[in-house]
Amino acid sequence: MLKEALNDKQVVLGSALILFMFCVAILAPIIATHDPCETNLSPEVKLQPPSREHLFGTDDLGRDLYSRMVYGARISLTVGLVAVAIMLLIGVVIGAIAGYFGGVVDTVIMRIVEAILCFPSIFLILMILAFLGPSIINVMVVIGLTSWPGVCRLVRAEFLSLRERDYVVAARALGASHRRIIFRHILPNALAPVFVSATLSVGSAILTESALSFLGLGVQIPTPSWGNILTTGRFYIESAWWMTLIPGLAILITVLSYNLVGEGLRAVLDPRLKR
């Protein structure tokens, strides 16, 4: 499967772009040309268009946009990964329990899942964040806490079909505990579709973070995140286009890369989608 995936142009292109973004984030202190939080309010410095000194121009407080973008990559990428890790942890465990045990447990869990899916996700997240207070940690946790129903359904469906297989019956006959059957026997066989959906979820978590920052309840200034650079850019959109265009493109490319990998892997896993 790995070999096939590496032959897929889509997966390779996406992975290369993701790798590039991670390099940028990790090397931020080295490749940044200025201090991302250093302000300079003199009119010659603030709101300047891209130039040799300031590759991506400067913002309303005279901060170097290139350096802020580079440091912002750290926030956006971390939020994506951590939020999805939390989502997976909750979604996989609850989905496994629902699918494995079935019956009343399954019914109750699925009703809760459907009820959560009814909530407009952005509003639910905003509501919780408004009460807990916005911070990077809260943003990651709340995105994770509200996005698990999708994975949960997926894992449940996998478990429902896998639990009837002969090897599971055999394991049960040998006296294996429920925990052992769930985690050692069934879960490894259900991981492939979960991995695809996790990859796609990283993209949507990054989009959600940027939307939250845009609405003022995400990562707070002065910490740079692509979302909050966009938010400030919004107020200077007529005069300083670079403050809006550049972070938007960065988000687009990152999310696109994750989707390329996710969809590519899905095609590799599902022979029916092959051309």
Partner 1 sequence: MVRYIAKRLLLIAPMLIGISLITFIVMHLAPGDPTSMRYGLNPEVSGSARAELKKLYDLDKPVHIQYLLWAKRLARFDFGNSFLDDRPVMQKIVERLPATLLLNVCALAVILLIALPIGVSSAVRHGSLYDKVMTIIVFIGYATPTFWFALILMVVFGFMLGWFPISGLRPWYIEYYSSGRQVADLLWHLVLPVVAASFGGLAGISRYTKSSMLEVLRQDYIRTARAKGLPERKVIYKHALRNGLLPIVTILGFALPGLISGSFIFETIFAWPGMGRLGYEAIMQYDYPVVMGVGVIASMMTLIGILISDILYAFIDPRIRYK
* 36 secondary structure, DSSP code: T
Q: Which residues contact 263 (CB under 8 A, 6 or more apart)?
A: 10, 200
- Of the pair 182, 217, the CB lying nearest partner 1 is at 217
Instruction: Check residue 131 for interaction with partner 1 (CB under 8 A).
Output: yes
Tokens of 43: 């009119």
Distance, CA of 25 to CA of 19 (rounded, Å): 10
Helices (H), 8-120: 9-26, 28-31, 65-101, 103-118
Contact 217, 126 (CB under 8 A): yes
Per-residue binding letters, 190-219, with partner 1 (x by CB under 8 A)? -------------x---x--xx--xxxx--
Nearest partner of 141 among 85, 90, 83, 89, judged by Cα: 83
- Of the pair 182, 198, the CB lying nearest partner 1 is at 198
Distance, CA of 266 to CA of 259 (rounded, Å): 10
Q: Which of 47, 81, 90, 132 binds partner 1 (CB under 8 A)?
A: 132
Instruction: Check residue 103 for interaction with partner 1 (CB under 8 A).
Output: no
Contact 201, 84 (CB under 8 A): yes
Q: Which of residues 241-260 bind partner 1 (CB under 8 A)?
A: 241, 244, 248, 251-253, 255-256, 259-260
Instruction: Check residue 59 for interaction with partner 1 (CB under 8 A).
Output: no
Q: Which of residues 151-190 bind partner 1 (CB under 8 A)?
A: none
Instruction: Select the span of 37-45, 46-54, 124-132, 174-182 touching partner 1 (CB under 8 A).
Output: 124-132
Per-residue binding letters, 6-45, with partner 1 (x by CB under 8 A)? ----------------------------------------
SS3 for 58? strand
Q: Under the rule (CB under 8 A), what is the footprint of partner 1?
A: 111-112, 114-124, 126-128, 130-132, 203, 207, 210-211, 214-217, 230, 234, 237-238, 241, 244, 248, 251-253, 255-256, 259-260, 263, 275
